[in-house]
Amino acid sequence: MSEVKYSKEHEWIKLDGEEATIGITKHATEMLGDIVFAELPEKGSHVDKDGTAGVVESTKAASDVYTPVSGEVIDTNQMIVDDPSKINEDPEESAWFFKLKIKDKSEMDSLMNKEEYEKFAKETSA
Amino acid sequence: MSIKKTSLNNLHIKYGAKLVEFAGYQMPIQYKYGIIQEHKYTRSHSGIFDVSHMGQLFISGGDDLTNELEKIFPADLKKLKTNQSKYSFLMNNKGGIQDDLIITKTSDGFLIILNAACKYNDYEVIKSKLDNQYKLNLDESLSLIALQGPEAKNVLNKVILGCDSLKFMNGNNYVYKNEKVYITRSGYTGEDGFEISIKNSDAETFVESLIENGSKLIGLGARDTLRMEAGLCLYGNDLDNDTSPIEANLKWAIPKSRIETEFVGSEVLKNQFQSGVKKLRVGIKPDSKVIARGNTKIYNDKNQEIGKVTSGTFGPSVEHPIAMGYVDNSYSTVNTKIFLEVRGKKIPANICNLPFYKKNYVKGEINV
């Protein structure tokens, strides 16, 4: 069974063995508004926990995308680069950003579960 | 200083606005549909914009108001007919723009529409240049509502009969609920449209009746993408105290009849007319999907810095990133290859013509 966790930077991460899929939350897309541009990390590159691993831009502004855990980028989602509006439509499923091969599962420990994240998102957007 | 609210604040909340502070006012950045939908609705139907934060300055009195104002503004006010409007500037002695504005000749003087962030300063500057016989009234008992888009004339005509006969950059008095309203045919979206000056207490019911007739409230976010597609300047981004109207590529707004005459900043403008300018505002189209925002540095193909972007976004109607900015004049020719530094990378782009989106203003009574 896969485990989904959430970061304070509004990314979600789904872990399947050593493979993690990462995207931004529905709450993040609602704050950003219409997304019109997405930039993803290079396949094969290494990203560090809490470091930048992409960019999304709405009509209003650019925002960095952070990775909640460290690892090697093994796949990126070209669909969202070709049509960034997909991120608004389906942020937590088909519009994932990148997949990582992770080394240290314990980096997941500091992240929030769904319930904790929903509380966090509600408090911080109030 | 506490944050101000316009007379439409309750309506913004009712229609699901996301409110932000802008120039000291609580203003809607977008409603529930989002910027892209709001932008497209304005282009295809009509959109209502609360621009009540802008200044409505009435100047009247005195024997020689037109001459006195021509010493301040580089517009040909003597030729202006009653109810006719002109785009102009309040400049400093260096020829820099303190504000860009619309001057309309009224039956007893002039009405000047000022940018929200500049209005109190403008008032002081203009007052200091006129003697006491002239009366200035920055009227905050009035709201200002813009209605823009191809259906604007039909929607407005259902609420206020007869306003569809106005010509572009002309205004007139009308009556709404037994109160006087002043309507001009103008706007900031590249679409046909109107700006309605109305008593604060009537603003809400007036806007509700526009909504009932098929229009929708549109936020400042879409107002910004619409004006950028139309190639129009935003004061503070594209225009400032260190930029002249000539550098801003707004030479068309300085009538030839005024070039040899005196007004604030006229020496500098005259010089620039004769010997040209070093920097010029241009349209910029990135080759890729990357968006270059304000303050993005611009380079030539030899990696030398040649200017900077002042506004940039994704254009929802042109479906491409768009920008405008200032470049060294030798790079201002259309189709010149330039490079934009975005997140450390040099993104290729081209100088292009403005506007990005073709205008649909009404001239005379024929829709062009």
Confidence of residue B366 (pLDDT cuts 50, 70, 90): very low
Of B36, B339, B238, whose CA–CA distance to A35 is shortest? B36
Answer yes or no: is pLDDT of B362 > 70: no
* Overall domain count for chain A: 1
Looking at the fold, whether B274 and B216 belong to one and the same domain comes out as: no
Answer yes or no: is pLDDT of A5 > 60: yes
Mean pLDDT of chain B: 95
Query: In percent, how much of chain B has pLDDT > 90?
Result: 96
Identify all chain A residues contacting B290, using CB atoms and an 8 Å cutoff. Answer: 37, 39
What is the ipTM, given to two decimal places?
Answer: 0.83
> Encoding tokens for residue B117?
């962030």
**CATH number of the domain where residue A47 is located:** 2.40.50.100
Confidence of residue B38 (pLDDT cuts 50, 70, 90): very high
Range of the domain at B18: 1-232
> Is B190 inside a domain boundary?
yes
Inspect the interface and report whether the beta carbons of B35 and A55 lie closer than 8 Å.
Answer: no
Looking at the fold, whether B211 and B342 belong to one and the same domain comes out as: no
Inspect the interface and report whether the beta carbons of A58 and B321 lie closer than 8 Å.
Answer: no
Count of beta carbons in the 10 Å neighbourhood of residue B242:
11
Instruction: Report CA-CA distances (Å) from B192 to B63, B82, B230, B311, B356.
Output: 36, 21, 12, 23, 16
> Is B359 inside a domain boundary?
no
Closest Cβ opposite residue B34 in set A33, A39, A55: A33
Looking at the fold, whether B57 and B200 belong to one and the same domain comes out as: yes
Q: How far is A52 from chain B (nearest CA, A)?
A: 12
Identify all chain B residues contacting A60, using CB atoms and an 8 Å cutoff. Answer: 29, 35, 221, 313
* Overall domain count for chain B: 2
CA nearest to B288 within chain A: A37
Looking at the fold, whether B36 and B158 belong to one and the same domain comes out as: yes
Q: Quick check: B54 and B197 in contact, CB under 8 A? A: no
Looking at the fold, whether B255 and B226 belong to one and the same domain comes out as: no
Tens digits of residue pLDDT in B147-197? 999 999 999 999 999 999 999 999 999 999 999 999 999 999 999 999 999
Is the peptide bond prior to B355 cis by the omega test (within 30 degrees of 0)?
Answer: yes
**CATH number of the domain where residue B270 is located:** 2.40.30.110
